[in-house]
Structures are given as structure tokens and as C-alpha cells.
């Protein structure tokens, strides 16, 4: 399980078009359109009994309205991913991720130790960078809130499904 920003349908359509364009030129295991998200806090395996406690923690977070301009395509060689990132600083997004991480840690949940870095994974098992690194037209993402997402195993790769969500102020 993980907490994430989940895109509106218009944003998902723009991202799907971008993946189609990039996948024609670069190899990798490309993300399914319905799985696209920006992770805020990764929890890993969570027992069903902990869901109520997770909801109580998330209820204390009051996210602000958030507008992102995702315009940079990056290849991260060590995890072998191609991702989409914002060029400029996104302090509100970082604050939301840090607030969630702090509150979840205080509530006894074990979290990843990596520092938050805003990105949307477009492809995994990508061994080379796409030729395009800066989009001519940014993908606009306006967040209506954040979600608790569950990952379900599938022979063709995991399927992500939001199971609870919290709106912005």
C-alpha cells in the first residue's frame, strides 16, 4: 500500500499519449494508464487491521490545492526507470509528503528511508534514456486530494486501486 496523488482523467489522457509517443522510441516496461500516480509515502504490506489507523492518520492531514507542471523526462539508471518530473520546486507537494511520512512514522508505521523526490514513473526496466528530455508542452496536473492505494499482483504487472481518498481544502 502507499499514499499517492491520483490524476484526474484529463491528466491521465495526456500521460497516456506521452507514454505512447515515448514507447515507440524507447524500450521498457511501460506503466498502465490506470496505474499512473505520484507516490507520497510508501507503506509496503499493511495488515487489514491497520486500515482504520491509517485512515485516522490521513484524516489529520489537510492538503492544499496543488498544481503541477510535469515537463522533464528523466532516466534513473539505478532503479532503471523513466519518470516524469517537475522542473521547478514544488514545496506544497514536498510538505504534503513530509507531513504524511512524519505522521505515519509517529503512528508506528514503517516507511521507506529514501527522501521524497516528486516523480511519476512512466516505465520500469528501462536501460536507456529517451531522446526527449524536456517536453515542449508540460503535463498539467491539478490535484483534488490524495489516496490510499492498494497494489494487487497480476501476471502482467501489479494493478493499483485507490481504496480511500482525502480531498484538498
Judged against a pLDDT cut of 70, whether residue 65 lies above it is answered with yes
Q: If you average pLDDT over every residue of the chain, what do you get?
A: 92
- Per-residue confidence band for 104, with pLDDT thresholds at 50, 70 and 90: very high
Spatial distance between the Cα atoms of 79 and 76, rounded to a whole number of angstroms: 6
Q: What is the mean pLDDT of residues 123-135?
A: 91
What is residue 168's predicted lDDT score, i.e. its pLDDT?
Answer: 82
The CATH code of the domain that includes 26 is 3.90.1140.10
Count of CB atoms situated within 10 Å of the CB of 3: 28
Mean pLDDT to the nearest integer, 64-87:
93
How do 120-124 and 29-30 pair as beta strands? antiparallel
Q: Domain containing 10: what range?
A: 2-167
Residue 158 host element (H or E) = none
Predicted confidence (pLDDT) at residue 88 exceeds the cutoff of 80 = no
For residue 89, pLDDT beyond 80: no
Mean predicted confidence (pLDDT) in 59-86: 93
pLDDT above 70 covers a percentage of the chain that reads 99
Q: Give start and end residues of each alpha helix (H) in 37-138.
A: 51-59, 91-106
Give the angle subtended at the CA of 7 by the CAs of 5 and 13, to the nearest 5°: 155
Q: Could you give the number of structural domains in the chain?
A: 1
pLDDT digit string (tens) for 41-54? 999 999 999 999 99
Amino acid at each position: 500500500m502507499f499514499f499517492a496523488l491520483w490524476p484526474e482523467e484529463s491528466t491521465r489522457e495526456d500521460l497516456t499519449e506521452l507514454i505512447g509517443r515515448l514507447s515507440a522510441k524507447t524500450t521498457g516496461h511501460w506503466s498502465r494508464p490506470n496505474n499512473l500516480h505520484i507516490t507520497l509515502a510508501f507503506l509496503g504490506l499493511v495488515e487489514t487491521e491497520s486500515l482504520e489507523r491509517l485512515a485516522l492518520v490521513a484524516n489529520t492531514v489537510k492538503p492544499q490545492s496543488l498544481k503541477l507542471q510535469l515537463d522533464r523526462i528523466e532516466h534513473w539508471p539505478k532503479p532503471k526507470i523513466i519518470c516524469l518530473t517537475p522542473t521547478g520546486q514544488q514545496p506544497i507537494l514536498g510538505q504534503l509528503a513530509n507531513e504524511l511520512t512524519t505522521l505515519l512514522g509517529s503512528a508506528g508505521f514503517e516507511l521507506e528511508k529514501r527522501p521524497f523526490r516528486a516523480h511519476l514513473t512512466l516505465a520500469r526496466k528501462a536501460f536507456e534514456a529517451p531522446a526527449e528530455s524536456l517536453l515542449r508542452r508540460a503535463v498539467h496536473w491539478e490535484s483534488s486530494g490524495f489516496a490510499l492505494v492498494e497494489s494487487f499482483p497480476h501476471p502482467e504487472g501489479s494493478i493499483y486501486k485507490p481504496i480511500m481518498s482525502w480531498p484538498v481544502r
